[in-house]
Amino acid sequence: MSTATTAAPASTQLSQLDQLKKLTKVVADTGDFESMKEFKPQDATTNPSLIFQATQKPEYAYLLDKAIADNKNLHLTGAAKIDHIIDDLLVGFGMEILKIVPGRVSTEVDARLSFNKEGTKQKAHQLIDLYQQNGIPRERILIKVASTWEGIRAAELLQKEGINCNLTLLFSLPQAVACADAKVRLISPFVGRIYDWYKATNKREYTGAEDPGVQSVAAIFDYYKKFGYETEVMGASFRNVGQIIELAGSDLLTISPDLLAKLAESREPVVRKLDAEAAKARDVQRLPLDEKTFRWLLNEDAMATEKTAEGIRKFAADIVKLEKLIAGKV
């Protein structure tokens, strides 16, 4: 695991957030536009849960109203019409976000397609087409897909078409290796949810470099840099500032507004903990993977199996909530 501690090229008069930005691309993990304007991240990520939460706020009601109005005369009914409205809503949020951030936005495929390779591909095409119809080039979009075997295979095909993918709900090295072998653009290993599982299972607290979530991302980072993979590592799902600081130097980190605020308030020094050059010198073994090996290794990892399944169920539940909300308005 990386243990480099190169100091950020910044005075401690800078906030931790500004120091971190010198070491890592900072990404906003939110659907809230105002927090993006405040903290000025490079990219932004969304998911069904964040979009559903945002639609509950009066200031974002116009996006839902617009998606419904734009599809009022659509020659579709029932579930097909609601599905189309949701796609328009997701893209509507993405377009507003891209007015704020200079980089990319991640838009998630329906979690109920997590085990459907062809369905995932089709939905990705629909989302990309909607963005392009609105003048947004595909280079500014990351399609978020769950890190199942089927999701990874769909992403592999999408990448060959020039559609960049962000593989989410990722909790283990086998998932990360399969993503890198598929040449996906970016992965989002979930630090906080790994930490949650070990904390609950072992009934103990973890801090600093001993945090299992931190260790998981550091191991993935080292593996990628050791073997020259171009897939970007973006730590996600943080529970505290300490986890973020321990992963300074990661390619990207996606951070919620409350933790961005804490980083902006602190003047404590931030040092590089993950280092690509140091990783190349480490004794890291290759992990050959085929489908059977992937499924077996994932099955053997109780945490990764449980957290991947749980995450898919939660995202799917929030899509259903969004569908019911829209059905009530339609």
pLDDT of residue 10: 43
pLDDT of residue 12: 56
Domain 6-329 listed as CATH 3.20.20.70: yes
Domain boundaries in the chain? 6-329
Distance CA 178, CA 153 (A): 9
Catalytic residue numbers, as ranges: 144
Enumerate the β-bridge partners of residue 168: 146
Mean pLDDT in order along the chain per 10 residues (330 residues): 52 87 96 94 91 90 93 85 94 96 97 98 98 97 98 98 98 98 98 98 97 98 98 98 98 97 97 97 96 98 98 95 91
Q: Are 8 and 72 in contact (CB under 8 A)?
A: no
pLDDT of residue 329: 86
State how beta strands 232-235 and 141-146 pair: unpaired
Give this prediction's pTM: 0.93
Q: Are 72 and 109 in contact (CB under 8 A)?
A: no
Enumerate the β-bridge partners of residue 43: 27
Q: Are 88 and 324 in contact (CB under 8 A)?
A: no
